[in-house]
């Protein structure tokens, strides 16, 4: 694996890069590692760039492409993603195009002419198209000098979202021996990075790994007790804001989306069982802000570039930490605060292992082995009691030095360890044993709570020594504790028509009092905790002293402009840019040009309208 390093710098290169990102994107400085990544592209050195979602990866290949000779080819996994990327670049005045199966032959020929005439600097294509000989010949004729492989983790068996077609990209080195190749992704462990380097046949690549911590995200992992109530609580905290709700199964997506729609929420469903037209319509509605919330399986997300997602809610545990990092990373891409909530139960572990053990994937032993390890890793993360930010950062191999993040359920004091967890575990395990290891969770809970019902009395279970041992606890509390014991390997649930609880060999050490058992539970928020949340929200916002009324007017104007141009609103301006406008209140084009995210092309296209809005604080006639 290549060592961390930095290329030689030329001051004129830095100045040229700063000039182009200011002119085109309206940014006055580099984000961390962007300068090094851009310089690698300009000097022709292969690179692997790992940056968190929202860290500015696309700028790393787009900015140098505008300064270099020839064309930069961007490998993108989805047609919808390509279109949004190209639209965003064009809106900033960058000469970009795409070639894919959604275009007519006339449109493709037009792109070919522009490409050969040297009027296109960034060309987006799928990995499959790059394997077509005639397309490679076109790129050779056009002088392709570099390849940017987006979502590069898709090439690795050891990562998430593995895509076999990405493996073919190793042939690029053979067909374009003088071109440089650059891999970009938001999540990659050391093993995945090694696989990317090997599969793409990279030569002495520069490895740049950004800070995996997303400080503007608040992580909460809550025991899943009353799913509907917990979902509504999150939605009500973010009324009128955009968010994504993830479910494991398609049927869960359909049921929850229907239930939310019935309650009056602006919601769409998305999963692989829908037609391509239905999926496209849902994605378009969300991207163009015609709906606030999407309920989806993991099939939704790659290529979603909406910057103002204020929450991501998982109704169940994802199947890997990489998936979790990628999916939560879709929140707060604008740098403003966002919330990430995961409703966890150790039952999710059982569900994932069952699904991974059957179906088409089960025939690939290597895949199943890797996937099972990922499930164990994220289960440890969810059931752990360490700072969530710290656990994520350390999982991806980076050190954590802060005592408290102030932005997760653990550090905000929203959870606590169960007092005398060993005794609590012994009560539960003893009850399962006294019931002959022949009953399911529901009956075990009823016995522990001491319920006076027929099915307990008829079996004589009211005379057991474990009857009513946890009389004061609620059903949800005991259920959560049972699943924690399942997750820690002290209990198991049989996979049968009527699942029952059984002790594992590890349970003996608990019953003998020789094990160290740790259980956790949520606690009711206190005023102190609420005050910490408010301070956190204030510090995470770029500047809380912006004109909220002006911001709302600007958002309505942006929506109208986007609809007229047929693009998502974020392509016009991000929420961050609109907030900055509402804070600064620029009344001249010169003042507006100094606002974050406004380059020359957007100043020319939208400047006069924005200044008119600022002066009058009302919508201009469109």
Secondary structure element (H or E) that encloses residue 293, with its range: strand 293-296
Counted residue by residue, the chain has a size of: 622
pLDDT band at 10 (very low <50, low <70, confident <90, very high): low
- Which domain CATH number covers 444? 1.10.10.10
Judged against a pLDDT cut of 80, whether residue 272 lies above it is answered with yes
Q: 108 in helix, strand or coil?
A: helix
Residue 503 lies in a domain: yes
Judged against a pLDDT cut of 50, whether residue 538 lies above it is answered with no
Secondary structure element (H or E) that encloses residue 244, with its range: strand 242-246
301 plus 340 within the same structural domain: yes
Percentage of residues in the chain with pLDDT exceeding 90?
53
221 plus 205 within the same structural domain: no
Q: Are 121 and 94 in contact (CB under 8 A)?
A: yes
What phi, psi does 467 have (nearest 5°)? -65, 130
Q: 177 in helix, strand or coil?
A: coil
176 plus 305 within the same structural domain: no
Residue 292 lies in a domain: yes
Average pLDDT of 299-314? 79
CB-side neighbour CA atoms (13 Å) of 328: 30
pLDDT band at 537 (very low <50, low <70, confident <90, very high): very low
DSSP 106-167: HHHHHHHHHHHTT--SEEEE-HHHHT-HHHHHHHHHHTEEEEEETTGGGG-TTSSS--GGGG
CB-side neighbour CA atoms (13 Å) of 313: 26
Residue 622 lies in a domain: no
Q: Are 176 and 71 in contact (CB under 8 A)?
A: no
pLDDT attached to residue 543: 47
Judged against a pLDDT cut of 70, whether residue 618 lies above it is answered with no
d(CA 608, CA 349): 55
375 plus 490 within the same structural domain: no
d(CA 67, CA 594): 23
d(CA 247, CA 500): 25
Average pLDDT of 37-54? 91
pLDDT attached to residue 6: 52
The mean predicted confidence, pLDDT, of the chain is: 87
Residue 541 lies in a domain: no
447 plus 391 within the same structural domain: no
Judged against a pLDDT cut of 80, whether residue 361 lies above it is answered with no
pLDDT attached to residue 307: 77
Among 187, 209, 231, the domain-final residue is: 209
Secondary structure element (H or E) that encloses residue 344, with its range: strand 338-344
Q: Each residue of 555-598: pLDDT tens digit?
A: 999 999 998 988 888 889 988 899 999 999 999 999 999 998 99
468 plus 571 within the same structural domain: no
- Which domain CATH number covers 584? 1.10.150.80
pLDDT attached to residue 524: 62
Percentage of residues in the chain with pLDDT exceeding 70?
91
Residue 621 lies in a domain: no
Say which range, 22-31, 75-84, 133-142, 171-180, has the weakest mean pLDDT. Answer: 75-84
- Higher-pLDDT residue of 503, 223: 503
Give Cα 360 distance to the centre of its chain.
Answer: 26
d(CA 249, CA 230): 18
Domain membership of residue 596 as a residue range: 548-616
Among 414, 443, 465, the domain-final residue is: 414
363 plus 459 within the same structural domain: no
Give Cα 12 distance to the centre of its chain.
Answer: 36
Q: Are 573 and 562 in contact (CB under 8 A)?
A: no
Q: Are 313 and 247 in contact (CB under 8 A)?
A: no
344 plus 429 within the same structural domain: no
Judged against a pLDDT cut of 80, whether residue 34 lies above it is answered with yes
Residue 390 lies in a domain: yes
Among 174, 189, 209, the domain-final residue is: 209
What phi, psi does 236 have (nearest 5°)? -70, -30
Q: Are 174 and 182 in contact (CB under 8 A)?
A: no
Q: Each residue of 369-411: pLDDT tens digit?
A: 778 888 888 988 887 778 899 999 888 888 888 888 999 998 9
230 plus 202 within the same structural domain: no
* Predicted TM-score (pTM) of this structure: 0.74
Residue 120 lies in a domain: yes
What residue ranges in 415-562 does DSSP mark as E strands?
Answer: 415-417, 491-493, 501-503, 520-522
344 plus 488 within the same structural domain: no
- Higher-pLDDT residue of 524, 207: 207
pLDDT attached to residue 450: 95
Average pLDDT of 70-87? 87
pLDDT band at 71 (very low <50, low <70, confident <90, very high): very high
Average pLDDT of 287-313? 83
Judged against a pLDDT cut of 70, whether residue 117 lies above it is answered with yes
The DSSP bridge pattern shows strands 242-246 and 309-314 to be parallel
pLDDT attached to residue 360: 55
Of 328, 521, 551, whose CA–CA distance to 415 is shortest? 521
Q: Are 56 and 34 in contact (CB under 8 A)?
A: yes
pLDDT attached to residue 460: 95
Q: Are 419 and 518 in contact (CB under 8 A)?
A: no
Judged against a pLDDT cut of 80, whether residue 620 lies above it is answered with no
Of 13, 15, 52, whose CA–CA distance to 31 is shortest? 52
Q: 144 in helix, strand or coil?
A: strand
Residue 147 lies in a domain: yes
Q: Each residue of 410-452: pLDDT tens digit?
A: 899 888 888 899 999 999 999 999 999 999 999 999 999 999 9
Secondary structure element (H or E) that encloses residue 42, with its range: helix 34-43
- Listed in sequence order, the residues at least 6 apart from 610 whose beta carbon sits closer than 8 Å to its beta carbon are 554, 557, 581, 586, 592
- Higher-pLDDT residue of 299, 58: 58
The residue whose two tokens read 């001249």 is 588
- Which domain CATH number covers 45? 3.40.50.300
Q: Are 5 and 206 in contact (CB under 8 A)?
A: yes
235 plus 253 within the same structural domain: yes
Domains of the chain: total: 4
Q: Each residue of 506-523: pLDDT tens digit?
A: 999 999 999 989 888 888
486 plus 395 within the same structural domain: no
């Amino acid at each position: 694996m290549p060592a961390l390093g930095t290329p030689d710098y030329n001051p004129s290169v830095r100045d040229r890069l700063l000039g182009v990102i200011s002119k085109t994107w309206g940014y006055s400085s580099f984000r961390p590692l962007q300068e090094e990544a851009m310089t690698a592209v300009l000097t022709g050195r292969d690179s692997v760039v790992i940056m968190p979602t929202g860290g500015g990866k696309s700028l790393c290949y787009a900015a140098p492409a505008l300064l270099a000779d020839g064309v930069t080819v961007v490998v993108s996994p989805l047609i919808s993603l390509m279109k949004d990327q190209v639209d965003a670049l064009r809106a900033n005045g960058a000469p970009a195009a795409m070639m894919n199966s959604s275009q007519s032959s006339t449109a493709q020929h037009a792109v070919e002419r522009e490409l050969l005439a040297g009027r296109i600097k960034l060309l987006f294509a799928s990995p499959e198209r790059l394997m077509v000989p005639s397309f490679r010949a076109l790129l050779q004729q056009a002088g392709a000098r570099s390849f940017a492989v987006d979502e590069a983790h898709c090439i690795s068996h050891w990562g998430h979202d593995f895509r076999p077609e990405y493996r073919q990209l190793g042939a690029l080195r053979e067909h374009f021996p003088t071109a440089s190749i650059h891999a970009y992704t938001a999540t990659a462990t050391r093993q995945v990075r090694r696989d990317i380097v090997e599969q793409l046949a990279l030569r002495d690549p520069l490895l740049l790994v950004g800070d995996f911590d997303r400080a503007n995200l608040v992580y909460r992992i809550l025991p899943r007790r009353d799913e509907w109530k917990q979902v509504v609580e999150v939605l009500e905290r973010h009324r009128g804001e955009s968010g994504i709700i993830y479910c494991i199964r398609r049927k869960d997506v359909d049921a929850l989306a229907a239930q939310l729609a019935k309650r009056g929420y602006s919601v769409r469903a998305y999963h692989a069982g829908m037609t391509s037209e239905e999926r496209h319509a849902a994605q378009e509605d969300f991207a163009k802000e015609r709906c606030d919330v999407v309920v989806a399986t993991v099939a939704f997300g790659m290529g979603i570039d909406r910057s103002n997602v204020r929450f991501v809610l998982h109704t169940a545990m994802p199947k890997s930490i990489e998936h979790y990092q990628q999916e939560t990373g879709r929140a707060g891409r604008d740098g403003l605060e966002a919330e990430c909530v995961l409703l966890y139960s150790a039952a999710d572990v059982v569900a994932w292992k069952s699904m991974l053990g059957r179906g088409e994937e089960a025939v690939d032993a290597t895949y199943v082995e890797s996937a099972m390890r990922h499930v164990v890793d994220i289960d440890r993360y969810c059931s752990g009691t360490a700072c969530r930010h710290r656990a994520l950062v350390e999982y991806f191999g980076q050190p954590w030095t802060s005592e408290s993040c102030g932005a997760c359920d653990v550090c905000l004091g929203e959870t606590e360890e169960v007092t005398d967890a060993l005794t609590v575990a012994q009560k539960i395990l003893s009850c399962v044993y006294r019931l002959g290891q022949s009953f399911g969770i529901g009956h075990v809970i009823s016995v522990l709570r001491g319920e006076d019902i027929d099915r307990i009395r008829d079996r004589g279970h009211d005379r057991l020594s474990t009857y009513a041992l946890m009389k004061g606890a609620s059903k949800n509390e005991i259920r959560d504790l049972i699943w924690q014991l399942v997750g820690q390997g002290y209990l198991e649930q049989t996979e049968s028509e009527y699942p029952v609880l059984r002790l594992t060999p590890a349970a003996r050490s608990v019953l003998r009092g020789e094990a160290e058992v740790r259980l956790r539970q949520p606690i009711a928020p206190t005023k102190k905790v609420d005050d910490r949340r408010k301070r956190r929200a204030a510090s995470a916002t770029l500047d809380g002293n912006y004109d909220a009324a002006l911001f709302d007017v600007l958002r309505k104007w942006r929506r109208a402009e986007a609809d007229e141009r047929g693009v998502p609103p974020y392509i016009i301006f991000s929420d961050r840019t609109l907030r900055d406008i509402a804070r600064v209140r620029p009344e001249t084009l010169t003042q507006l040009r100094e606002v974050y995210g406004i380059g020359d092309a957007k100043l020319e296209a939208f400047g006069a309208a924005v200044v008119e809005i600022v002066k009058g604080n009302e919508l201009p006639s469109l």
